[in-house]
Structure 1
Amino acid sequence: MKQTYFDTLLQIIRGSDSGEITNTQTLIGNFINQLDFEKKTEDLDCYIFAAALSKQFDFENDTNINLYLQRFEVSQIILFNMLAKHFPLASIASHLANKILEQFIELHDEISILNIGIGTGRQELALINELELNGKLPKKLILFAVEPSDESLSQAKANIQAAAAEKGIELVFHSFCTTAEEMTPETWDFISKSEYPLLVNAAFALHHIRELEEDFYTRNRVIQHIYDLNPLAVIMCEPHVNHNTSSLEERFQNCWRHFKAVFNIINQSELSHEGKTALKLFFRREIEDILGKPENIRTERHELGEKWVERLSLSGFSPVNLDILPDMPMPNGFSVRWNNGYLGLEYEKETLISILVQK
């Protein structure tokens, strides 16, 4: 992406503070109309940012542009398969988190896991397979699954029950169709009464906790609840970028840097032009939330690893540095390193994901 494009959009954002919304809308429209999606990859990348900003200022984009982008819409299942094969960032983070979980699980025949944001159970299925491969399957697993989507939660339960039955694990599956911040005192108390050692896993979930106050004390309250469970450890994966600020200018600069690296990963993949565009449009939804939605309804409120370390330490947690790096070969351009209390997953020296291990 051209730096001049970044400067132009940043100037438009700074000019919007004058209150001349009509002028801002015109500037964004003119910027979008000069982009050449067919010939220039960086122009499509920049359009995604400009289109997100246009929503911030209640501006409808050119219909022809949206019709062009519709050519690249694909089904969710195809997108997920493309992500798994050609976008290794999330899968590497999940594998690293599972390697950490495995080091705790192997010490216990019976174990409890609280998973906040379990989705459809993809990470747990991979964990069970890895444990079986290494001869470390527990005899009994108590799983407390928290997920706001009832459909995903039901699918997770079915998937994990089938895998546990196949591998001879005694599974007890407790479902909680809710968000972390909406878990009741009774739910926290129920989990605390588990008779087996407890691990807490939260993959790309806690950044969705939101509050109107700038400091987001609700996150600290959820972390305090987790600490009060006295877990063996809490393992978290989070995007390493600060989008938890009311400053649109700051969010734009952070968002540009983070997703510029994400788009670079896609650009270096073996996907066709159409495939690369489809994946970028998948991330467009996150960028639109970060840059286009009003402050009181945004959900993609990512924070830096250092900030999560600070939040965890307030409740009494301390970082655990586990020696897992020699066992993890990385694809070209990727690296991992312990840094300031978290494991940083990097691409071309830009930290994109923080993996925290605390107890």
Structure 2
Amino acid sequence: MPYQMTEANKESLNAIHEESVEDLDDPTSLFAYTLTKAMRKHFGQDAAQEHIYLQRFEIPQIRLFELLIQQFPLANLSQHCTNTLLIDALSQHTHPVLMDIGIGTGFQVMNIIEGLTKRTDCQIQQLTIVGIEPFADAVDTARQNINRVAQNADFGVSLVTRVAFIEALSLDELRQMLPNQYDGLYVNASFALHHIQQHSQRKMVFENLKALQINVLALSEPNSDHYEPIYARRFQNCVNHYGALFRIIDTLAISDTEKAALKLFFSREIDDVLGHSEEVRVEKHYAIEQWRELLTETGFVLQKRLATFEYTQLNGTHLQTDLSDRYATVFENEEITGLFWAVL
């Protein structure tokens, strides 16, 4: 797989694909569709009809975003955990810096600023946000969102942004983004670092963060090895991980159309894991053990910060708080995401 597949194998794959297309309202058929669609893409087969198959599941982008943040427990619980930890830590400084790798449209940073504003014991006088994001449109939106929320904060907020991939930035370039004076440097990387293609690049990024003498790296990542170069193993890992995500979606109290739309959102990742060549694919998730090894290799220590959370369960998924070195989101006794608090 896939290069050992015969023409007969490919015909069987196409038959499964066509059969699944006939009943996309069935959850099992939809999952089979996403897998076979990705595998067919790997062979360069025409996907021109895909949009026609899926038109009835399209929903407005803003609604999809709301579902991911409000209803999908992995995104919600993971951000709730990380935000709680960061708010607790940042509030103890007067001039802290929060560097957000993959800041996107700034939604998580907005929530952190709002959380800090609500703290009666917050000591912050000036908060500097350093946002790194490869997509310029997202950065423009993030700037608008953060500036709007900052108007209601009872402390100063300054925003420094850079349109770039974190692995393309040198240590000097990172240093230039920091203010002249600060009393705490916290780095947040939520579901961003698995996009770095090579292990050597990930190691370099961690070493640069270490050289900055950061206080903490708050790292949130899915728990599945899609870095695996052997296709058959990566396929099985993909089935296990996204199969769990699809089952989580099936538990949500939303419409069938919205469930399908969420699944098709994640099917873009499946397309990358199974459909793209090794040279260009970017959804190269690590399993928990691989992140732990990389953090240790680069001089970080996992020092779980204790906190009190407003809630630890959402839609059948719970935040596991009793692990020795991290937090985790768990569904059906399976760790879906790992949440690390790494110090030097």
- Classify the TM-score, shorter chain: over 0.9
Higher RCO (CA < 8 A, seq sep 6+) = 2
1:54 Cα deviation from its structure 2 partner: 1.0
| Secondary structure in structure 2 of the residue aligned to 1:328 | coil
1:233 Cα deviation from its structure 2 partner: 0.8
Aligned in 2, Cα 1:191/1:53: closer, same or farther, shift over 3 Å? Answer: same
1:168 Cα deviation from its structure 2 partner: 2.8
Q: What residue number does 1:202 align with?
A: 189
Partner residue of 2:18 out of 28, 33, 50: 33
- Tell me if structure 2 keeps the 8 A contact 1:337–1:345: no
- Residue identity over aligned pairs, in percent, reads 28
Q: What residue number does 2:327 align with?
A: 343
Q: What residue number does 1:275 align with?
A: 258
Confirm or deny that 1:69 pairs with 2:54: yes
Q: What residue number does 2:338 align with?
A: 354
1:301 Cα deviation from its structure 2 partner: 0.6
| Equivalent runs, 1:160-175 vs 2, <5 Å | 160-175=146-161
Write the deviation string for residues 61-92 of structure 1: whole angstroms up to 9, x where unpaired: 594x6523221122321211222333121011
Q: What residue number does 1:83 align with?
A: 68
| Equivalent runs, 1:170-185 vs 2, <5 Å | 170-185=156-171
Write the deviation string for residues 5-62 of structure 1: whole angstroms up to 9, x where unpaired: xxxxxxxx4xx44353x33321211111233425632111111111111111222359
List runs of 5+ in structure 1 lacking aligned partners: 1-12
Aligned in 2, Cα 1:223/1:76: closer, same or farther, shift over 3 Å? Answer: same
Confirm or deny that 1:153 pairs with 2:139: yes
Note the aligned Cα RMSD (angstroms): 2.0
- Tell me if structure 2 keeps the 8 A contact 1:148–1:177: yes
1:185 Cα deviation from its structure 2 partner: 3.5
1:145 Cα deviation from its structure 2 partner: 0.9
Counterpart CA distance in 1 for 2:200 and 2:24 is 46
1:169 Cα deviation from its structure 2 partner: 2.2
| Secondary structure in structure 1 of the residue aligned to 2:151 | helix
Counterpart CA distance in 2 for 1:126 and 1:61 is 39
- Tell me if structure 2 keeps the 8 A contact 1:140–1:169: yes
- Tell me if structure 2 keeps the 8 A contact 1:25–1:57: no
Counterpart CA distance in 1 for 2:292 and 2:328 is 12
Aligned in 2, Cα 1:192/1:151: closer, same or farther, shift over 3 Å? Answer: closer
1:278 Cα deviation from its structure 2 partner: 1.2
Write the deviation string for residues 224-251 of structure 1: whole angstroms up to 9, x where unpaired: 0001111111101111111001111111
Q: What residue number does 1:317 align with?
A: 300
Confirm or deny that 1:255 pairs with 2:242: no
Q: What residue number does 1:5 align with?
A: none
- Tell me if structure 2 keeps the 8 A contact 1:305–1:342: no
1:105 Cα deviation from its structure 2 partner: 1.0
Counterpart CA distance in 2 for 1:59 and 1:100 is 46
1:333 Cα deviation from its structure 2 partner: 2.5
- Tell me if structure 2 keeps the 8 A contact 1:146–1:178: yes
Residue 186 of structure 2 aligns to which amino acid in structure 1? L
TM-score, structure 2 as length reference: 0.92
- Tell me if structure 2 keeps the 8 A contact 1:309–1:341: no
Write the deviation string for residues 151-173 of structure 1: whole angstroms up to 9, x where unpaired: 11121122112211222321221
Confirm or deny that 1:135 pairs with 2:120: yes
Counterpart CA distance in 1 for 2:140 and 2:41 is 34
- Tell me if structure 2 keeps the 8 A contact 1:305–1:356: no
Residue 92 of structure 2 aligns to which amino acid in structure 1? L
Write the deviation string for residues 165-199 of structure 1: whole angstroms up to 9, x where unpaired: 22232122111110110113431232466421111
Q: What residue number does 1:221 align with?
A: 204
The size of the alignment, in residue pairs, is: 339
- Tell me if structure 2 keeps the 8 A contact 1:309–1:342: no
- Tell me if structure 2 keeps the 8 A contact 1:29–1:61: no
Residue 204 of structure 1 aligns to which amino acid in structure 2? F
TM-score, structure 1 as length reference: 0.89
1:341 Cα deviation from its structure 2 partner: 2.9
1:329 Cα deviation from its structure 2 partner: 3.0
| Secondary structure in structure 1 of the residue aligned to 2:314 | coil
Aligned in 2, Cα 1:151/1:61: closer, same or farther, shift over 3 Å? Answer: closer
Confirm or deny that 1:144 pairs with 2:130: yes
Aligned in 2, Cα 1:259/1:141: closer, same or farther, shift over 3 Å? Answer: same
| Secondary structure in structure 1 of the residue aligned to 2:285 | coil
Write the deviation string for residues 249-300 of structure 1: whole angstroms up to 9, x where unpaired: 1111111111111111111112222111111111110100000001100000
Write the deviation string for residues 309-345 of structure 1: whole angstroms up to 9, x where unpaired: 2111112110111222665331252221454632221
Q: What residue number does 1:120 align with?
A: 105
Write the deviation string for residues 195-227 of structure 1: whole angstroms up to 9, x where unpaired: 21111111111111113xxxx211001000001
Counterpart CA distance in 2 for 1:331 and 1:245 is 31
| Secondary structure in structure 1 of the residue aligned to 2:57 | coil
